[in-house]
């Protein structure tokens, strides 16, 4: 494992010697980080979480307890993965081939979930690969995501559907005079053809 002295890995964690862990990151009890995984700076991997082979995480990410991040997932900076979230990697899962033989790694092609900067996935949500969660979007707890989520979208349900917009603070935006306003930061957004963009003042 490539790491500096600033990295904290508990004794019960299982971290491959081929993983790369950035400065200031913490890997907690019973977590597993597989070979080739790259975890950025100041990240937290919670108890019992799984980070698959070759997964790439940006800086300042949080992966909460018992989340399963299967390869080849890609997480941008500042991504939040809630407890028991699952990021899948097999579009057509089977344990065996049509002839009854046990599937091996050569019998299927992993597909990944991509989560862009600042986005959050709530507890026990499932993201079915291949999907992209846009920047600063929020996936509600228990949702099942089966299609791409636009930036700043708030999605919920099974399957997940957009029920609103959120700002960078994560709070729902309110519509006023044809624009969307953040109650925390006072940031303003405009919506055009189902795409939200921040207004630069």
Residue/partner pairs of 80-83 with CB below 8 Å, 24 or more apart:
80/119, 80/120, 80/121, 81/115, 81/121, 82/120, 82/121, 82/122, 82/123, 82/124, 82/125, 82/141, 83/46, 83/123, 83/124
Q: Each residue of 115-138: pLDDT tens digit?
A: 999 999 999 999 999 999 999 999
Residue 2 has pLDDT above 60, yes or no: no
* CA–CA dist 36, 38 (Å, integer): 6
- Alpha-carbon torsion, ordered 117, 13, 20, 43, to 10 deg: 30
pLDDT, position 39: 98
Mean pLDDT, the chain, whole residue set: 95
Domains and CATH numbers, the chain: 8-168 (2.160.10.10)
Q: Each residue of 61-105: pLDDT tens digit?
A: 999 999 999 999 999 999 999 999 999 999 999 999 999 999 998
- pTM of the predicted model as reported, rounded to 2 decimal places: 0.93
Q: Each residue of 138-196: pLDDT tens digit?
A: 999 999 999 999 999 999 999 999 999 999 999 999 999 889 999 999 899 999 998 99
pLDDT, position 105: 84
pLDDT, position 4: 52
Instruction: Tell me the CA end-to-end span of the chain in Å, nearest whole number.
Output: 45
Buried b (16+ CB within 10 A) or exposed e, 168-184: bebeebeeeeeebbbee
8 Å CB contact between 59 and 40: yes
């Amino acid at each position: 494992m490539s790491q500096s002295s600033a990295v904290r890995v508990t004794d019960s964690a299982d971290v491959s010697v081929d993983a790369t862990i950035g400065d200031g990151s913490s890997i907690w009890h019973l977590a597993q980080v597989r070979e080739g995984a790259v975890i950025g700076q100041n990240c937290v991997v919670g108890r019992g979480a799984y980070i698959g082979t070759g997964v790439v995480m940006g800086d300042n990410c949080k992966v909460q307890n018992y989340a399963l991040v299967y390869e080849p997932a890609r997480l941008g900076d500042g991504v939040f993965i809630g407890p028991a979230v699952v990021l899948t990697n097999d579009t057509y899962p089977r344990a065996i081939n049509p002839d009854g033989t046990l599937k091996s790694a050569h019998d299927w092609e992993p597909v990944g979930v991509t989560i862009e900067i600042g986005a959050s996935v709530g507890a026990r949500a499932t993201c079915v690969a291949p999907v992209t969660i846009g920047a600063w979007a929020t996936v509600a707890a228990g949702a099942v995501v089966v299609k791409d989520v636009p930036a700043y979208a708030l999605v919920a349900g099974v399957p997940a559907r957009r029920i609103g917009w959120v700002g960078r603070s994560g709070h729902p935006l309110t519509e006023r005079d044809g624009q969307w306003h953040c109650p925390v930061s006072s940031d303003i957004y405009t919506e055009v053809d189902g795409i939200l963009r921040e207004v630069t003042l």
